[in-house]
Structure 1
Amino acid sequence: MKFELKGNDPQSKARAGVLTTDHGVIETPIFMPVGTVGSVKGVHQRELKNDINADVILGNTYHLYLRPQTEILEQAGGLHKFINWDRNILTDSGGYQVYSLSANRKIKEEGVKFKSHIDGSYHTFTPENVMEIQRIIGADIIMAFDECTPYPCDYNYAKRSMHMTHRWLDRCINHLEKLPFKYGYEQSFFPIVQGSTYKDLRKQSAEYIANAGAVGNAIGGLSVGEPADEMYAMTEVVCDILPEDKPRYLMGVGTPINILENIALGVDMFDCVMPTRNARNGMLFTAHGTINIKNKKWEADFSPLDEMAMTYVDTEYSKAYLRHLFSVNERLAMQIATIHNLGFYLWLVRESRKHILAGDFRTWKDMMVKQMDKRL
C-alpha cells in the first residue's frame, strides 16, 4: 500500500491524500460504506460503483466468520470474488462486535470466548486466529484485534485494556509475518489506538501504535456514547502523535458533522452504519439539514429528494413519493433512502477534499456545519 499527501488546509489540520492498493486508488478523505456480511444493505454492487462511486467498502470479520464461514470464502477465492467487487475492501477485526456482546463473552489474555448471536454456539477469537480469518477473507486492509472499551469506562480498566490491546497487537504482527498472502495480492495491516477518553492513555497508546511502524493507523473506542467534544479532544491528541505520512482511520464515526470536524483534526478515513441505518428509518441527510421523510409535511411535496443530485434517486423521485413508499412499508423506500444517504456522505468527503486542495476547507466546513445542524 502507498499513501501520498497531496495537500493540507492552511487553517486546520485537514489533509488530502491518495491511498493506493492492489485493488485501486482511494482519494482521501474518504467515507467507507459498511457491508457487514458482504453486502451494503439494500444496495447492489453495481449501484455502489456506478451511482455512489465507493472506492472502498467494509466487511466484518465476526459476521463473515459466522456466515458464510471462512471455508466458503476460501473456496470462492476471497470476499472480492464472492461478492463480485473489484475495488477495495477493509475488514474490521471483530473487536467491536465482541464488545457489543458484553453479556455473552469472556475476555482473557489469550483472547475472547463468545457466544454466537445466531445459534448460541461458542467460539474463541485470539489475535492469531483473527489474523488467519482476515487472510482468508482477503480484504485489502485488515485490522488488529483489540478490545473496545465502553463509555463511561473506569480509568484502571481502560488502562489494563489498553495494555492488553498493545500485547495483542504484538501477537498480531508476529503471527502475520508467518502467514503468506492469498489470492495474488497483498494486504495492509492497521493497528488501533485505544485508551477511552483519558488523554494520558490516548497519548500513550498513540505513541505505541506509531512505533509499531504499520503502513496505516486507526483510532478505535470512540463514538461509543461519549459527548462529541470528548471525541474531538481524543482525536486531536492522537492525530498530533500518529505519523503524518500514513493514513489515519477513525473507526465508526459518524454523523456528517462529526466527519467534517474530524477531517479538520487530521483524519483521513471514516466508516459508520448511520447513513444506511438511518435511511431505513426514513432519515435523509442533506447539505441543508436532516429530513424525516415520514413527516406529514412532505405528503404533497413533489420537489426532488435533493436538488443537489448526488445520485440518480435524488432527481428521479420526489419527497412525496418516498414518503408514500415508507407509509406503505414498501422496501423500495429503504433502498432509495440508502442510495441517497450514501451518495451524500461520499459527496461530503469529496467536496471536503476539493476545499482542502483549494485552501479554504476551514471556512467551508464551518458554513456546512451550521447548515447541516438543522431539522427540515
Structure 2
Amino acid sequence: MKSINTAVETNKIIRFFQDLGTLTRIYLLLSFITFSVVFIIGALMHLQNKISIAPLSTINGTAATVPTTVFLDMMTTQIPVLEEAPTSTLSQKNISKFLFQILSGINPNNPKSLVALAIPGMERETPSLLYGGDAASSISPVEYNPPANVFQQGEIPSTTEESPPPVASEPTPINQLDENKGSKSVFIYHSHNRESWIPELTKVTNPDLAFDATKNVTLLGKRMKESFDKLGISATHSNKDYPSSVKDFTYPKSYQYSKLTVKEAFAANPKLSYLFDIHRDSQGRSKTTVTINKKDYAQIYFVVGEKNPNWEKNMEFAKKIHDKINEKYPGISRGIYGKNSNGNGEYNQSFSPNSSLIEIGGVENTLVESYRTIDILVEIIADVLKDAEKV
C-alpha cells in the first residue's frame, strides 16, 4: 500500500511539471541551479574562514618544494638554448608523484610518511622555505628525537666541571643604543634546553646523544642576555631544565613545557615584547658553518610555526632580522622556514608577533663559533628594536 501511495504522489509531481509551460520549467530549473551554486560557494567561503591555510598551499611554500630540475625543464619549453638537457623530469610519472605528495602530504617514495600521518609525534615533514634562501640549493633545518633513555639519570654525564665552557675570543663589537631605547623587554628561553655539541662533549660521537645537563644551548641564551644587558635592553633568560623538573618528562612534549615557562614569564612581566626560543640544529658542520673574514660562524635558521593563525607577522619579524644580518654578514642566515607538523607547528609564537625560534649552528659546531653568531645576532636584533622604537 505504501509503495502505491508513493507512486501516486510521484505521478502527481510529474503531471504538475508537464502542465507547466516550457518557460516556467526553464525558470524553475535555472532558479534551482542558481540556489545550488550560491549555497556551495557560501559553504566553501565558510570553510575557508574556519581553516587556517598553511604556507605550503601558497606560492611561498609550494615553490620551495618544487625541485630545481622541474623549473629548468619548464624553462626549456620556452628557451631553445636549454634543450640540451639530457633528461626531462616532466614525465607523467614524476608529475603524478609530485601532485600526489602536495595534495596528500604522503611521499610515494617513502611509505613511512603514511604511518607518520597517523601517529602523533612521528611526523617529520620537510620544512618549507618561506623566505631568504635559494629553493634550488636550500638545506632545511633538521630535528631528530633523541633515544628515550638519553635523559635518564646517568645517561648524560656533565662535562662542564672538567672543561669550562669557552668564551668567544674577540667578541664582535656592538653599537650602544640610546639610553631611552630599552623600554621593550626581551625573553630568552629554550624548549630543548639540553641540546649540546659533539666537540664540546667527552666520549660522545653520536649526534643523537649530543645532549648535556649543563653544557648546552642555555649557555647561548645566557650570552645573549648579557649582550642585551650591555646595551641597556631589558632581557630575561630562562635556563629551566625540563628533564629534571618535569615529572614523567617526554621529549615530544617539550613545547608544552616551554609554553608554561612563557606564560610564567608574562605573568611576571606583562610588558614582554620579544620572545626568542634558542636551539641548535641536528645537521653536520658542513651544512651549518660559514667563514667570514677567516673566522667560522655557526649559521642561523629561523623557524615559523604555520599553525599559528598569525604566522605571517612572525615571518615578517624574522625577515627583518634575516635581511639585516645577511646584509652585514652574508651567509650567516640560511633563511626562514615554515613548519606545520602534527606534533608542534605553533612553537609558542602566538604569544607575540615578535616571537621567533632560532637554530644557532648544528650538532658539530663549537661553542666559540656559536658565541660569535650570538654576538652579531644581538647586534642586529638591537638595530631592529631601535627601528621599532622610531616607528
Q: What TM-score results when the alignment is normalised by the length of structure 2?
A: 0.23
More helix by share: 2
Q: What TM-score results when the alignment is normalised by the length of structure 1?
A: 0.24
More strand by share: 1
**Structure showing greater Rg:** 2
